[in-house]
Amino acid sequence: MPKFNELSKKQQRIIQSRHSEALILAGPGTGKTEMLAHRIVDILSNDPVEPDEILALTFSRKATFEMRTRLDEFEKIDTSDVNISTIHAESLRTYYQLGGSRRHILDDDEIKMVTKDALLDNGVSSGRNDIKCLIDYISQAKSNNILPQEVTSYNPEDEAFIELYENYESLLEYHNAMDFNDIILKPVRMLDSGNSLDRNIGHLLIDEFQDINSLEFNMMQKLGNNVEGLFIVGDDDQSIYGFRNANPNLIKSINSYYPSCYEDCLEETYRCSEHIIRGALEIVSKDENYEPKPIHSARGMGKPIKFLITRSEGSEANWIGQLIEEKIEEGYVEAKNIGILAKSLALAPVVIYELRRRGIDVTRHVSGGIFRHRAVRDIISVGRLMIDPSDNLAFRKCLTTNLASGIGDRGVEYLRDIAENRNLGYWDVVESIDSHRRSRRWRTPYRSFKYNIENLFSESMEMSNMDIMVMIAERIGVTGEEGVDELLEQVEQFGPSVPFNTVLATLQTNRGIDKANGGAEPELGDDSVSVMSMHASKGLTFDVVFLVGMDQKILPDTEQEINEQRRLCYVAMTRARSDLILCHTRKRTGTIARGVSFYNYSKFIEEIPKGHIEIIDET
């Protein structure tokens, strides 16, 4: 990390300023992380404040780790007690400090399960689209701090949703659980009802403010109440999380909440060349709400953006593969410094196949971390039920493994009917199943399932955490399946002294926080080309970047909000340091093309000035 005297005069001035409230607009590659770290050290060096009175909020666990790593580089000042956290981890901590009861944070499968139950209980269709629609409705309501009884719309359609929302909340209470939005909503409500924080926050620093939604902003305001210094960093041009209700208007209207807020802007990017930053700015500046900012490259003009046109996905993949192969052999770039980005990973299989055919290692980054693998989720669920038979959600998920047989949907419906109507746990019902009416059909399969779980628990008593996980994987038949080895590696990192229940709880909590913040950030391979979605590329940098799918109807998709797609394209383009290749092909196949489709090139291409782009026509 650069020393203070190596920073720009603008960065130095911002670091040393002491406005009670400040918003710093920081574009891609302008050194905001270094600035934040130096800001914290400057406060500790010059202000009468203790390290634990500084709170820095980020939007991912990886960003938290990077901030901590930067601070550790300052050897002359102790920063170990500075609080650095994601906003969701800090909210969860606040919830427990205020006396909130321990609750399980639902994962994706469990959210879908509970949502489906809410639909079924109301006699409503529970297909995939119905589940997604209700999940989106509830998420939007909670992101705006609205509970079922507070929905003010009198639209008949909303009335139906309100009833489903109420049922969903009742099921969360029954399961002693909370969803991702509740991580913020619950402490906000507790603070609104008169509870107070028993801690002293002197300085609050917030990174990636453009990604915040209304509920998170509410929480931020409560954490920042009465602080000496509020220091906000963000870039509305990089707001790309509309799917989790992020609101870029909050950063644009900061003065309406903090009238005396000082605003400044970091103007130099140390990442992108002038050609790249100019081309990207031309696209994002067509956003109807765009607010101009002075930004230029500290690296000079560099190479013009290249625009590749091919006839088909095969010819596109061949051209990309050949160029990557040549550049690696020449020593121009290492594989780990090459990124292939796409709006959807459904655009990437042909390119991945071609690279692997040429012997080039590829890491395909899929959102969800290890929890995207069914085998991992099943292992965790079995472990949870082994140590806590009252965990109804783990019980339900375990019924889908080979530890249970002969139960099916009707057996689950029977169990739910008894347990939820009598406010009993699922395990309690199974223990007393002989006493329940119409139970004969289900007695044997449920007893067998109960025996399998109890047997696993008894065998695990003298085992290490690693051995327990290996045993579970073997019993449910997922040994060797994708994600299992990675799970075992993570478990091993906890060490032998950490109790098994703590390992499970930490894995689950981290998964919940990652999901709430938009997904776990990818870990780049040591020597492989990275293939990922444009969303996943946020915060990353590559020497060479290929953007696949620069096709009209894909980017932009006319059925999606155009302004956020402009910002997404801007984020993806500005991941490139030196070489940026935008790729369009006239014919695509597969799910994203709904079979076979023919495309014109993206309208965004036309918006890049001719002086910043070169066309490579391979048709």
Contact 68, 311 (CB under 8 A): no
Please give the span between the terminal C-alpha atoms of the chain, in angstroms, as a whole number.
45
What is the per-residue pLDDT for 596? 74
Contact 555, 549 (CB under 8 A): yes
Q: Which CATH superfamily is domain 4-97+197-266 in?
A: P-loop containing nucleotide triphosphate hydrolases (3.40.50.300)
User: Which letter, b or e, does each residue of 481-508 get, where b requires 16 or more Cβ atoms within 10 Å of its Cβ?
Assistant: bebbeebbebbeebeeeeebeebbbebb
Average pLDDT estimate for 24-50? 96
Q: Could you please report the per-residue DSSP string of 552-564?
A: TTTSS-TTS-HHH
Q: Is residue 461's pLDDT more than 60?
A: yes
Q: Which CATH superfamily is domain 274-367+523-617 in?
A: P-loop containing nucleotide triphosphate hydrolases (3.40.50.300)
Asked, colleague to colleague, whether 4-97+197-266 and 370-517 share their fold, the answer is: no
Distance CA 219, CA 239 (A): 19
84 pairs with which residues across the strands? Answer: 56
Average pLDDT estimate for 343-372? 91
What is the per-residue pLDDT for 37? 97
For the chain, the structural domain boundaries read 4-97+197-266, 107-179, 274-367+523-617, 370-517
pLDDT tens per residue across span 403-459: 999 999 999 999 999 999 999 999 999 999 999 888 899 999 999 999 999 999 999
33 pairs with which residues across the strands? Answer: none
pLDDT tens per residue across span 544-587: 999 999 999 999 998 999 999 999 999 999 999 999 999 999 99
Q: pLDDT exceeding 70 applies to what percent of the chain? A: 97
What would be the CATH architecture of the domain defined by 107-179? Orthogonal Bundle (1.10)
Q: Could you please report the per-residue DSSP string of 348-380?
A: -HHHHHHHHHTT--EEE--TTGGGGSHHHHHHH
What is the per-residue pLDDT for 61? 83
Distance CA 317, CA 311 (A): 11
Q: Which residue has the tokens 């399980």?
A: 104
pLDDT tens per residue across span 368-400: 778 889 999 999 999 999 999 999 999 999 999
Q: Angle 500-516/465-475 helices, nearest 10 degrees?
A: 70
Entry field: residues in the chain = 619
Q: Is 282 helix (H, G, I), strand (E, B) or coil?
A: helix
CATH code for the structural domain at 370-517: 1.10.486.10
